[in-house]
Amino acid sequence: MSAATLTPPLNLEADSRISLRSHIRHTGALVRRNLLWIRQDPESMFDAVLMPIVFTLLFVYVFGGSIGQALGGGQDQYVQYVVPGMMAMMSMNIAMAVGTGFNQDFQNGIMDRFRTLPIGQGSVLFAKIVVELMRLLIATTIMMIVGILVGFDITNWPGLFAAVGLTALFGTSIMWIFLVLGVVMKSAQAVQGMGFLVLMPLQFGSSIFAPTQSMPGWLQAFTDYNPLSSLADSARGLMVGGPVTHDVWVTVIWSAVLTLVMAPIAIHKFRTKN
Amino acid sequence: MTRIDKKPPHSGDGGRTASVTVRGLVKHYGETKALDGVDLDVHEGTVMGVLGPNGAGKTTLVRCLSTLITPDSGTAFVAGYDVAKQPRQLRRVIGLTGQYAAVDEKLSGRENLYMIGRLLDLSRKESRSRADALLERFSLTDAATRPAKTYSGGMRRRLDLAASMIGSPAVLYLDEPTTGLDPRTRNEVWSEVKRMVGDGVTVLLTTQYMEEAEQLADELTVIDRGKVIAGGAIDDLKAKVGGRTLRIRPADPLELRPLAAALDDMGLTGLATSTVDAEAGAVLVPILSDEQLTAVVGAVTARGITIGSIATELPSLDEVFLSITGQKASAPQDDTRTSELEGAAV
């Protein structure tokens, strides 16, 4: 072999700033990496595929009868209530996986490789977000199909797309939080443990699964400010009708604020991790 | 082999050289001084071996020089780029192969290299051809489509080296490239490194093994507790330490001191005096040739001292430290490579 193969293909005179096109190309290469993972290890899609089926069926058939009655109807009434709510639940459950996966990358040396390449360091995180958003869309689609099969009746189809978009927006902001945890925490198990600790009270202390009117006052105060309540109520209003403007705005503002605060922290922590 | 690149090698930033210059580099972790004022010069196209025990600061040094961590103070320039101020330009000219293979285990060898090519702004076509060329070069073509997690330790390390070479780095860091590898695989990695050096890459190699430094390095820097304690051309250092170490154990432990005195009287090497290892009941003496070995045996026998056992060793890191500082290295060594002549001395 001649030395010819070792001459640098790089443009060393290039400006040190990274163009948007390069950013997109780098992110694309890393997205491809994560998609290849799925091909290599299809079980990693289990949560996105099975969770929406299992949870939708469980909630509808276990709680549907009694909560539906309380809502002044039956199981059908609860389906109309809980299916949009589950969309909000998905946004969080899927987001948690981004943190554990990211943390695992640090356990082997591949992150050192990425961090010594002349790429915008944000690309590594953007790629994770893109892949998780794809998983979130798959999970949401499956959930909607199961929901429709068990009787969910969408009265406003354009609203479905708005609700999915809002879920993706909010999900992204949660992913940034989990990316911060993924960088900062010592092990993937710790990220998961921490995730559940935050996830459970937020999900159950919201209007996702049951109306909040019968909850004690202190809990209602919490659920009213819980962004998951706003997201669930928005999704409901958008798909089956009802007032939505306020909840949509609250959800958008929460998402924007969380993203604007957490994304720079995540990128900074990633860049400066020792 | 097809020629896949057009640009001249290491054109750098306006003809700067691919050298490494480190001055007064300091990095603390809490109370621990991982680097305590390190100076280092690696000249273009040479291999600098950084020798030191575990925890000496070798990896911290490499991580500083590859922009993974920011030093607390001091300066470092790699190929003319400031580590602290120009990390992005610097990343364009370096390659890093660490102790842990930095490859994606779930991806195949080819996909790993293709991904790095894309991240280095090569076109799809270039990335593919370069990945294939490097797979061939590192004898991984047959395993190209298998996930890296199915590779043996040596294959992984070779894939890691190949990944470091995608960008044709002017400066390559090898952080303990053979730690944890069996001797055969170690030789494979060594020959790959030698080929890269032959292509004119500047290499900074950290190692715990004198033998490895001897195989690969032109110059050596010995560090301990974050400080440089010796440095220079490898032959000079070897002469100072002694090419090999002769370990003689007298049959009668009481004859240990007389034996040491006898060896010193010989003034044989004139380079380093003998050392008494009282714990092992042996005397260590550096020798440079087989003739000296024979002379030592003759002289000892002439004094009427019966030899219990005798062995020659390549200087271990401990011996290097002993002869440089008169102290043991700060961390225990797991590696002494001994070729025994008779008996069991160690």
Contact A9 B167 (CB under 8 A): yes
Ranking A156-165, A255-264, B15-24, B308-317 by mean pLDDT, the lowest is B308-317
What DSSP designation does B149 have? G
What DSSP designation does B330 have? S
How distant is the Cα of B230 from the closest Cα of chain A, in angstroms? 28
For position B9, what pLDDT does the model report?
40
Question: pLDDT tens digits for A67-106?
Answer: 988 888 889 999 999 999 999 999 998 888 888 888 888 8
Q: Which of B10, B91, B107 sits opposite A116 (nearest CB)?
A: B91
Contact A8 B11 (CB under 8 A): yes
> What's chain A look like in SS3?
CCHHHHCCCCCCCCCCCCCHHHHHHHHHHHHHHHHHHHHHCHHHHHHHHHHHHHHHHHHHHHHHHHHHHHCCCCHHHHHHHHHHHHHHHHHHHHHHHHHHHHHHHHHCCHHHHHHCCCCCCHHHHHHHHHHHHHHHHHHHHHHHHHHHHCCCCCCCHHHHHHHHHHHHHHHHHHHHHHHHHHHHCCCHHHHHHHHHHHHHHHHHCCCCCCCCCCCCHHHHHHHHHCHHHHHHHHHHHHHHCCCCHHHHHHHHHHHHHHHHHHHHHHHHHHHHCC
Q: Which of B89, B119, B169 sits opposite A26 (nearest CB)?
A: B119
For position B180, what pLDDT does the model report?
80
Interface of B with A in 39-98 (CB under 8 A): 63, 66-70, 86, 88-89, 91-94, 96, 98
The CA distances from residue A228 to A56, A88, A201, B235, in Å, are: 17, 6, 11, 69
Answer whether residue A27 shows pLDDT above 80. Answer: yes
For position B48, what pLDDT does the model report?
95
Is the model more confident about A8 or about B291?
Answer: B291
CA distance B242 to B263: 15
Q: Which residues contact B141 (CB under 8 A, 6 or more apart)?
A: B132, B135
For position B319, what pLDDT does the model report?
65
Interface of B with A in 270-299 (CB under 8 A): none
For position B240, what pLDDT does the model report?
65
Contact B102 A32 (CB under 8 A): no
> What's B251-272 look like in SS3?
CCHHHHHHHHHHHHHHCCCCCC
Give the best residue of B1, B10, B104, B136 to mutate against chain A (max A CB count within 10 A): B104
Q: Which of B86, B94, B100 sits opposite A109 (nearest CB)?
A: B100
Q: At B73, give phi and psi (nearest 5°).
A: -155, 175
Question: pLDDT tens digits for B258-307?
Answer: 888 887 777 654 545 677 887 888 888 877 777 778 888 888 888 888 88
All structural domains of chain B, each given as residue ranges with its CATH number in brackets, are: 20-237 (3.40.50.300), 243-342 (3.30.70.920)
Give helix A157-184 / helix A122-149 axis angle, nearest 10°.
140
Residues of A with CB under 8 A from a CB of B: 1-14, 16, 18, 22, 25-26, 28-30, 32-33, 36-37, 40-41, 108-119, 272, 274
For position B49, what pLDDT does the model report?
94
Contact A40 B106 (CB under 8 A): yes
CA distance B272 to B245: 11
Question: pLDDT tens digits for A97-138?
Answer: 888 888 888 887 788 899 999 998 899 999 999 999 999 999
Task: Provide the phi-psi class of A243: left if phi over 0, else alpha when psi is between -120 and 50, else beta.
Answer: beta
For position B4, what pLDDT does the model report?
41
Give every residue of chain B whose pLDDT is below 50, as ranges: 1-15, 269, 271, 331-346
Contact A29 B93 (CB under 8 A): no
pTM over 0.90: no
Q: What is the mean pLDDT of residues A150-157?
A: 92
Nearest residue on chain A to B173, judged by CA atoms?
A116
Nearest residue on chain A to B100, judged by CA atoms?
A109
Contact B89 A5 (CB under 8 A): no
Contact B3 A37 (CB under 8 A): no
For position B325, what pLDDT does the model report?
65
Answer whether residue A11 shows pLDDT above 50. Answer: no
CA distance B227 to B225: 6
How distant is the Cα of B172 from the closest Cα of chain A, in angstroms? 12
For position B196, what pLDDT does the model report?
85
Contact B7 A109 (CB under 8 A): no
**Does an H or E element contain B74, and which?**
strand B73-78
